[in-house]
Amino acid sequence: MEKVSFHEPVLVSEVMEALHFDNPANKGRQARIIDATLGTGGHSFEIIAKGASALGIEADPGMLKLARSRMKTVNGSLKLVLGNFRDIAEIAEKEGFSPVGGVLFDLGTTSTQLTDEARGFSFANPEAPLDMRINSSLQGVTAADLLNGLRQDQLISLFEKVLNRFSAKRLVREVIKRREVKKFVSVGDFLGVTAGIRPKPGLNRATLPFLALRMAVNSELENLREALPKAFSLLGKKGRLLVITFHSGEEKETIGFFRRISREGKAKIVSKVPIVPGLEEISANPRARSAKLNILEKIK
């Protein structure tokens, strides 16, 4: 039988505490929470175990299928939708999830996606096709297409999202040199051109170039920018928006939105500094080490 591995959710107790289920936003009803990044359902599982009802949104049909199979074993109120969180307002209205007591974004990819050898998300599988699409039936452009097709200036600005200008230019020179001879097809092809990148302490030299490609293939920052105000608009009074980020691009986008909306007097930032996992969680789940939870509460 095929072995199913579920993603290990991060900061679970911190998220459950922050969603405070007795929140007045729930007006004495069963709490309603939107899990905008369902993954394999780790956070949703805990949310419905608290007696709340959850709407789980997931863009990857494979993850949705895994979450569905897992949730069969749980009693509780859960709706699962295949969709992109940039359409969160439309999806929530359609499913009757507005206003809600909380919305959770746990950004990035699951370990299940990362270790799937057919997807090309990880440089650990050099033979894999350089794909990285979260939804291959809706998205036409793969990571290899970007490397083979973008202009030099477009590639520099893609890699500058995570690398300094010097490293981005150097990497793009190597990309162009290679593609003039042979097109990019596999993860190994891209790994080969990252050899000249100076690694950040504690990181593999390929980590940031691979992250930049994944972000571009899936329009990750653009989706987040569009989704945050929509998610905020779905909250009832004192409802909370929780965002777990894994790198500075996501954090900048999130904090920028939180500060803007707080300055307008519509919300307050609950987490004065981001909440991070303790040593125990990090040693049990090393992927948690870069997780940061930021929390915003709607005032009226």
Ligand X SMILES: C[S@@+](CC[C@H](N)C(=O)[O-])C[C@H]1O[C@@H](n2cnc3c(N)ncnc32)[C@H](O)[C@@H]1O
* Binding-site residues for S-adenosyl-L-methionine: 41-43, 58, 85, 106, 113
> Is there binding between residue 297 and ligand X (CB under 6 A)?
no
> Is there binding between residue 131 and ligand X (CB under 6 A)?
no
Stretch that binds ligand X, among 22-30, 51-59, 178-186, 265-273 (CB under 6 A): 51-59
CB of 292 to ligand X, least distance (A): 13
For residue 295, count CB atoms less than 10 angstroms from its CB and return exposed for 0-12, middle for 13-18, buried for 19 or more: buried
> Is there binding between residue 42 and ligand X (CB under 6 A)?
yes
Q: Note the residue count of the chain.
A: 300
> Is there binding between residue 134 and ligand X (CB under 6 A)?
yes
Alpha-carbon span 70 to 19, nearest angstrom: 22
Q: Which residue among 23, 84, 207, 290 contacts ligand X (CB under 6 A)?
A: 84
Binding mask 220-259 for ligand X (x = CB under 6 A): ---x------------------------------------
Binding mask 19-38 for ligand X (x = CB under 6 A): ------------------x-
CB of 230 to ligand X, least distance (A): 12
Full strand arrangement of the beta sheet holding 267-269: 78-82, 53-58, 32-35, 100-106, 235-245, 292-298, 267-269
Number of residues binding to ligand X, judged by CB under 6 A: 22
Binding mask 188-227 for ligand X (x = CB under 6 A): -----------------------------------x----
> Is there binding between residue 106 and ligand X (CB under 6 A)?
yes
CB of 151 to ligand X, least distance (A): 26
Identity of the residue, 19 or 63, whose beta carbon is nearer to ligand X in the bound complex? 63
> Is there binding between residue 110 and ligand X (CB under 6 A)?
yes
Contacts 24+ apart (CB under 8 A), 210-215: 210/121, 210/122, 210/123, 211/162, 211/247, 212/158, 212/159, 212/161, 212/162, 212/163, 213/130, 213/132, 213/143, 213/146, 213/147, 213/158, 214/109, 214/121, 214/132, 214/143, 215/161, 215/162, 215/249
Identity of the residue, 199 or 222, whose beta carbon is nearer to ligand X in the bound complex? 222
> Is there binding between residue 167 and ligand X (CB under 6 A)?
no
The DSSP secondary structure of 126-183, one letter per residue, reads TTSBS---S-TTT----HHHHHHHS-HHHHHHHHHTTS-HHHHHHHHHHHHHHHHHS-
> What CA–CA distances, in Å, run from 101 to 104, 105, 240, 242, 277?
10, 14, 6, 11, 24
Q: Which residue among 23, 31, 32, 41 contacts ligand X (CB under 6 A)?
A: 41
Query: Taking the mean position of all CA atoms in its chain, how far away is CA 124?
Result: 20
Which stretches of the chain bind ligand X, using CB under 6 A? Answer: 7, 9, 37, 39-43, 57-60, 63, 84-86, 106, 108-110, 134, 223
